[in-house]
Amino acid sequence: MAGKAVIFFFTTLFAFTGCQQSICPAGEWEKVTAGLSFPEGPSWDGKSTLYVSNCRGDWIAKIHNGVADTFLVRSEKTPIFGYTNGLLFHRGLLYACDFGTKAVLRITADKKITVLSTGTAERPFRRPNDIAIGPDGLLYVTDPHHYDRNNPDGAVYKIDPASGQTAIAVPNLAFPNGIAFSPDNRSLLICESACQRILKFSIDNAKIDPDPTTFIKLPGGDPDGIAFDKKGNLYLAHFGGAAVYIIQPDGKIAGCLKTPGGKPTNLEFGDKHLKTLYLTEVETNSVYRLKAKIQGLPLFK
């Protein structure tokens, strides 16, 4: 096989606990591919491909029509490409949070890479982590620094995808991680991992209220990557907690899905009708999938 990933197709035996039947997926996790290196940032292109970062490897994988292969590898031809985490496929372009080069990259289908942003002059990126598209058409990027709830030195940036103009959208966060906008574009959810909680920011006319509420606290692990379905339920990869939580719009937990490994990192809806939930997990260095009951929120438009 040309790529680095090793392919597996079999069903695991990890069960679900306490799930509402109308919301939670039924069935078991299926392993799609293994042999990855700290997989993160899954991103669906709206057609047939899921892109996946390898945080401890110098490459981005792609799963095309169910077959895994290599999309991009660091080489002399790609010197500005380092180690990526969060990915976002939007309008034919792949945006990557590259913590190796401390930049947000823009990657074309023919693998042309440009540096879109390195942060602001006053506060350059420290470790760009995850990325989302806002109702204003700007890219929103979490940038954690120290993992210390008493030292909230992380931030969220907003970046114009055309010009690269960058500003800080939300300052003073304790290791900001996963990020997502609600389907109605009235809320911004940010995982504050060092505080083991998800913050909820209200949005009015594309302006973010600087005073958030705590949407939910989940001790026993770190809130990591998140994804919304079309009905506003939030799916959370609980790193270290061996679980994916499904949280209703009112903040109540609809269910908890046990994961194949103890360190799930991120989630993405993909496949036809966006009814497959993909999961990256680093204890097994694998990608899994599960049939969902509710369509995911499209991010690639």
Tell me: pLDDT of 121 over 90: yes
For the chain, what's the residue count? 301
Query: Is 155 domain-assigned?
Result: yes
pLDDT at 5: 47
Tell me: pLDDT of 1 over 50: no
Residue 34 CA to residue 8 CA, distance in Å, equals 7
Angular region, 164: left φ>0, alpha ψ -120 to 50, beta rest: left
Question: What pLDDT band is residue 78 in, cutting at 50, 70 and 90?
Answer: confident
Query: Is 299 domain-assigned?
Result: no
Q: 136-160 pLDDT, tens per residue?
A: 999 999 999 999 999 999 999 999 9
| Torsion angles phi and psi, residue 274, rounded to 5 | 55, 45
pLDDT at 180: 98
Query: Is 247 domain-assigned?
Result: yes
Question: What pLDDT band is residue 17 in, cutting at 50, 70 and 90?
Answer: low
Q: Between residues 159 and 76, which one has the greater pLDDT?
A: 159
Cβ-proximal residues to 115 (8 Å cutoff; 6+ apart), any chain = 80, 101, 103, 104, 105, 106, 164
pLDDT at 18: 62
Q: Between residues 10 and 38, which one has the greater pLDDT?
A: 38
Q: Between residues 218 and 25, which one has the greater pLDDT?
A: 218
Query: Is 243 domain-assigned?
Result: yes
The boundaries of the domain holding residue 173 are: 6-291
**Alpha helix (H) ranges present in the chain?**
none
Distances (CA, A) of 242 to 154, 223, 262: 25, 11, 4
Tell me: pLDDT of 10 over 90: no
- Per-residue pLDDT, averaged over 12-34, amounts to 75
Query: Is 94 domain-assigned?
Result: yes
Q: Between residues 27 and 7, which one has the greater pLDDT?
A: 27
pLDDT at 246: 97
The encoded tokens of residue 141 equal 């990027």
Q: 198-253 pLDDT, tens per residue?
A: 999 999 988 999 999 999 999 999 999 999 999 999 999 999 999 999 999 999 99
Residue 1 CA to residue 86 CA, distance in Å, equals 26
pLDDT at 276: 96
Query: Is 239 domain-assigned?
Result: yes
What is the total count of domains within the chain? 1
CATH of the domain at 281: 2.120.10.30
Query: Is 214 domain-assigned?
Result: yes
Query: Is 180 domain-assigned?
Result: yes
